[in-house]
Structure 1
């Protein structure tokens, strides 16, 4: 074999060896699922649909939102953990299935850190306590006084047993000595339908999806769980401002099963970062009260682990 033939053979061999890496860079070659752990209408669903539209446009394949509600988000997270780590199943991840449910339910069938690649941090939304105009609650102090006067009479809704709304409501009752009656729902969407119909008079829910009701006067915001007043509800006090040590943020991100290739993670993170930098996306995030603080993938993974540490004693205290 002459030198030219040897070089050609070597080049062909190297080319064959690099085909898997080249295949990764072609991702995506077919539609991608984005799992959402709650029904349509909640903050996770709204963000997932906005980002899926932008990813479809920039990466040339359909990113399809698939709602898989149930069991405090663990249905969707379990489906993600069991999916192939090929980049074709993702999740709009959030606090409840990764930082609350694993503590609340020790038999949760996945490790919230080891079983996933937490790729891109999207942002944070805060929780609010909202009341209907017919509830008789005009402000937080008045509501607490009413609830303490008639223990168990006043109902509140959350997006499910073990959800962050449920945990914060339990903390609220512990700190105020007010006794409320819990009505759990399978997500924020159906809960708010009953809230708007007057079936449940108060709810602990994320701020973004309740802003239209606040604007048209069908929901009264009593307090928010932010460290300071938020721009979308500047006249509403924080729980801390009112003397209660209640602080909660629901982070949103994009996660995948553990083991996704670095090429795919880099492509996805770059596309999401580009999408979230769009003026129209930033404007929509602002209107929802979604707070952005960009993080690297490594910082996001560390943040998820830190949030688990932070929420563990809170969840245990609230559910004893």
Structure 2
């Protein structure tokens, strides 16, 4: 679980010329992934890590450190020395929603980190079980309004991008449904196929095979634009349910007060890595959309995400008791 307030007070405060050495990096750089191996965040970190290694001239090591919705890893990096040797590949969960859900969280997405850059988004599809008698998102909304609270939806866990996407959908569409949390996309996909849950928002990468096999049906994409891998699936806005933009996003963060020159060098190495053929092929194969957002744009972006999801958390009454 999280460290207490005393631990939060120990967040690094040292920086300056002593850390801004020209020979950086002189040893391996560790990227902490806030989730177990083999998931989307892990896949992205490892794909980018190889070309980053070549650009920096030192190994980029991936360390998986799951727990508490990614907060264990994020907190560990917030507490690390601000020397750019320990980074976290954060997400909209670790740096967008967690502090709204968990008021006692001892780090803050903005104050405890220096954002380096965003690298990608992971689109989510609104997927229904094969037997549900709806063919479009508007038909699902109509069914939910006729039978409020009778249908259920699955997610990849409380506070996950999958969960918050559906809560945002419920708010914008004015509908109700029962939440069934799962431990990851695999179990959720299995129960969607089996008809145990009626619908859910799930990363395209986690459901692509089942969609192509006709075992479940996708009604729409919760993004501002269609997914190149599935160009025939409309966005929710195109399907008649606007303002449900709920892409998952991944971005690199360093501890607060990390020297600007090191952040700039990391951002340049990461941006270059995104152009590597192997990275692009890995992204395409796994329905990950490359999206580089530079350092200068990150503070406003993170602040907007924190504000957006805090309102969703409030309206959905998801705040954990202190």
TM-score bracket relative to the smaller structure: 0.7 to 0.9
Out of 261, 264, 280, the position equivalent to 2:262 is 264
Question: RMSD in angstroms over aligned alpha carbons?
Answer: 2.9
Task: For structure 2, list consecutive stretches of 5 or more residues without a partner in the other structure.
Answer: 1-16
Render the CA deviation track for 1:4-28: whole Å, top value 9, x for unaligned: xxxxxxxxxxxxxx99654x52314
Deviation at 1:84, TM superposition (A): 2.2
Q: In structure 1, how many angstroms separate the alpha carbons of the residues matched to 2:18 and 2:251?
A: 31
> Within 5 A, what are the aligned runs for 1:170-319?
170-192=167-189, 194-195=191-192, 199-245=196-242, 246-319=244-317
Following superposition, the deviation at residue 288 of structure 1 comes to: 3.8
Matches within 5 A, 1:1-320: 21-22=20-21, 25-30=23-28, 32-133=29-130, 138-148=135-145, 150-192=147-189, 194-195=191-192, 199-245=196-242, 246-319=244-317
- Check conservation: 1:38, 1:187, Cα contact below 8 A: no
What is the rounded CA distance, in whole Å, between the counterparts of 1:40 and 1:194 in structure 2?
22
Q: TM-score, normalised by structure 2?
A: 0.80
Whole-angstrom CA distance in 1 between matches of 2:81 and 2:187: 31
Q: How many residues align?
A: 301
| Deviation sequence 1:243-297 (CA, Å, 0-9, x none) | 2232222221111111223343233222211111113322433444444443321
| Partner Cα separation in structure 2 for residue 70 and residue 26 of structure 1 | 31
Task: Give CA-to-partner distance per residue, 1:89-145, whole Å, 9 cap, x none.
Answer: 211111112111212222221111011011122022322212343556554344445
- What secondary structure sits across from 1:237 in the alignment? coil
**Structure 1 unaligned blocks of 5 or more:** 1-17
Report the TM-score, using the length of structure 1 for normalisation.
0.80
Match of 2:5 in 1: none
In the TM superposition, residue 160 of structure 1 has moved relative to its aligned partner by: 1.8
Helix, strand or coil at the partner of 2:307:
helix
> Which is further off, 166-175 or 106-115?
166-175
Greater gyration radius: 1
Query: Equivalents in 2 of 1:19, 1:167: separation in Å?
Result: 42
SS of residue in 2 equivalent to 1:25: coil
Q: How has the CA–CA distance of structure 1 residues 199 and 270 changed in structure 2, closer, same or farther, with 3 Å as cutoff?
A: same
